């Protein structure tokens, strides 16, 4: 059964207030937005819980695959040893070793059992995660983009908070874009360092170090801006 909002409807963003809105209209708009933001927060947390559950099942499947690989590799290695012994016996004109033949049959049966067990585990994980994925998709469809809600809330705020919120969002967007650009440069440099030779390797490593410092600095600035934006948002929500 899908988790739903109280109304079981997708969150609809109301139009932003224009400059001719009265204080009462802005207050009413802000009240509606508070409810939307609260509902969106519940949806976001539910999505995170579903993702955590899905990831847990997927790790279970990955662990089963890893165990299967380890166990089957050991069995195949032993089968190869038995096959080599059988071939040597045939070359020497000796009769087949009944003990080795019996062991080979047991190992082949175990190999089949392990494969069947893995297939059942993978299918079980798929069947258990399917409803979770469907619910997550349904939750995502109901969610509103946080930035859109934030901009709507800012539009209902007094001029001072409105200007502050707009400025913080603009700076945050700029810093976030710059962070992504830095990450891209760092990735390119790491790839270049992996195949570089001296003295170019040292130069690339020095450049990477500079970008690492820049990433740390910009990252801290972005955190500060987001904290300030969150505080401004809380102030608007208390109006």
Q: What is the pLDDT of residue 20?
A: 52
For residues 76 and 200, give the distance between their C-alpha atoms in angstroms, rounded to a whole number: 46
- The torsion defined by the Cα of 131, 53, 230 and 215, in degrees rounded to 10, comes to -120
Task: Using the predicted structure, report yes or no on whether residue 80 has a pLDDT greater than 70.
Answer: yes
Task: Using the predicted structure, report yes or no on whether residue 2 has a pLDDT greater than 70.
Answer: no
Please answer whether residues 192 and 204 qualify as being in contact, where contact means their C-beta atoms are separated by less than 8 angstroms.
yes
Task: Using the predicted structure, report yes or no on whether residue 135 has a pLDDT greater than 50.
Answer: yes
The proportion of the chain whose per-residue pLDDT surpasses 70, expressed as a percent, equals: 91
Task: Using the predicted structure, report yes or no on whether residue 6 has a pLDDT greater than 70.
Answer: no
Rg (CA), the chain: 30
The mean per-residue pLDDT over the stretch 166-177 comes to: 93
Tokens read off for 184: 């891209």
Q: What is the pLDDT of residue 25?
A: 83
- Cα torsion angle, 195, 200, 202, 205, sign: negative
pTM for this entry? 0.64
Confidence of residue 225 (pLDDT cuts 50, 70, 90): very high
How confident is the prediction for the chain on average, in pLDDT? 87
Task: Using the predicted structure, report yes or no on whether residue 23 has a pLDDT greater than 80.
Answer: no
Task: Using the predicted structure, report yes or no on whether residue 185 has a pLDDT greater than 50.
Answer: yes
Task: Using the predicted structure, report yes or no on whether residue 98 has a pLDDT greater than 90.
Answer: no
């Amino acid at each position: 059964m899908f988790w739903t909002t109280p109304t079981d409807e997708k969150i609809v963003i109301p139009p932003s207030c224009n400059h001719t809105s009265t204080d009462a209209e802005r207050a009413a708009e802000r009240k509606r937005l508070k409810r939307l933001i609260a509902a969106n927060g519940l949806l976001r947390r539910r999505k995170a819980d579903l993702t955590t559950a899905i990831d847990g099942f997927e790790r279970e499947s990955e662990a089963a695959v890893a165990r299967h690989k380890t166990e089957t590799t050991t069995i195949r290695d032993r089968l190869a040893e038995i096959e080599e012994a059988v071939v040597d016996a045939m070359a020497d004109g000796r009769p087949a070793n009944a003990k080795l033949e019996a062991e080979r049959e047991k190992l082949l049966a175990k190999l089949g059992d392990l494969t069947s067990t893995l297939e059942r585990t993978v299918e079980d994980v798929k069947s258990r995660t399917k409803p979770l994925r469907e619910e997550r998709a349904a939750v995502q469809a109901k969610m509103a983009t946080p930035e859109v809600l934030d901009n709507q809330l800012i539009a209902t705020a007094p001029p001072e908070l409105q200007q502050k919120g707009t400025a913080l969002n603009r700076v945050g967007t700029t810093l976030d874009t710059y962070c992504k650009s830095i990450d891209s440069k760092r990735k390119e440099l790491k790839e270049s360092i992996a195949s570089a030779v001296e003295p170019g390797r040292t130069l690339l490593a020095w450049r990477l170090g500079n970008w690492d410092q820049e990433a740390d600095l910009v990252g801290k600035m972005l955190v500060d801006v987001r904290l300030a934006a969150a505080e401004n948002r809380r102030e608007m929500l208390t109006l």
